[in-house]
Amino acid sequence: MIKANGKNWYYNLTNLSDGKYKIVINCSDLVGNWNWTSFEFTIRSSFIKGDANRDGRITAADALLYLRFAVGQNISPYYLDPILDDVTCDGRITASDALKVLRKAVGQDLSKEACPW
Ligand SMILES: [Ca+2]
Ligand SMILES: [Ca+2]
How much distance in Å is there from the Cα of 61 to the middle of ligand 1? Answer: 7
Per residue in 24-78, pLDDT (tens digit) is 999 999 999 999 999 998 887 778 999 999 898 999 999 999 999 999 999 998 9
Cis peptide before 77 (omega within 30 of 0): yes
| pLDDT value at residue 9 | 87
How much distance in Å is there from the Cα of 84 to the middle of ligand 2? Answer: 10
Q: Give the global pTM.
A: 0.67
How much distance in Å is there from the Cα of 100 to the middle of ligand 2? Answer: 9
Residues with CB under 5 Å of ion ligand 2 are 86, 88, 90, 97
Quick one: CA torsion of 106, 70, 116, 50, rounded to 10 degrees? -60
What are the domain boundaries of the chain? 3-42, 48-105
| pLDDT value at residue 6 | 85
Does residue 18 carry a pLDDT above 90? no
pLDDT-based confidence at residue 99 (cuts at 50, 70, 90): very high
Please tell me the CATH code under which domain 48-105 is placed.
1.10.1330.10
How much distance in Å is there from the Cα of 88 to the middle of ligand 2? Answer: 4
